[in-house]
A = this chain, B = another copy of it.
Amino acid sequence: MNVWDEIKTRSVDGIDGLVTVVVQDEKTNEVLMLAYANRIALEKTTETGLAHYFSTSRKKIWLKGESSGNTQNVSEILIDCDMDAVIYRVSQKGGACHKGYRTCFYRKIQDGKTVEVEEKLFNPDEIYGKK
């Protein structure tokens, strides 16, 4: 039996068959982003070594870096006790965040407000094009 037969998927915003993916820098352990994967995305990630997800907004499989070039080489996949969440340990090209930061978690909460704790790496308009 393959491990993907044993995963316990969840329904997120009405979309079935998802596991949560925590994306972690393989060297620093920094958490870069959080996303979702379905079985196809997990299999594509394993086969290609490049992080694939299921986009809950676009409702389709998504190769991270497809448009930005900021791909993620996945060296290891960890799975949790409940088998409903995985960690992709990655080498991140450029920044993970579509807003131009290395990590999507570039702000902390302080006194009920958000405060930036990371500097911007790139201008998202230049990478993704103006919207």
Contact = CB atoms under 8 A, between A and B. Distances in A.
A112 interface: yes
Contacts of A113: 3
Contacts of A101: 81
Nearest to A2: B112
Copies of this chain present: 2
A57 to B, nearest CB: 9
Contact of A87 (B31, B99, B114): B31
Given A3-B114, A12-B10, A14-B11, A78 B33 contact: no
Q: Which 10 A-B pairs have the closest CB atoms?
A: A29-B29, A78-B105, A80-B104, A77-B109, A2-B112, A34-B85, A81-B104, A81-B99, A78-B108, A80-B105
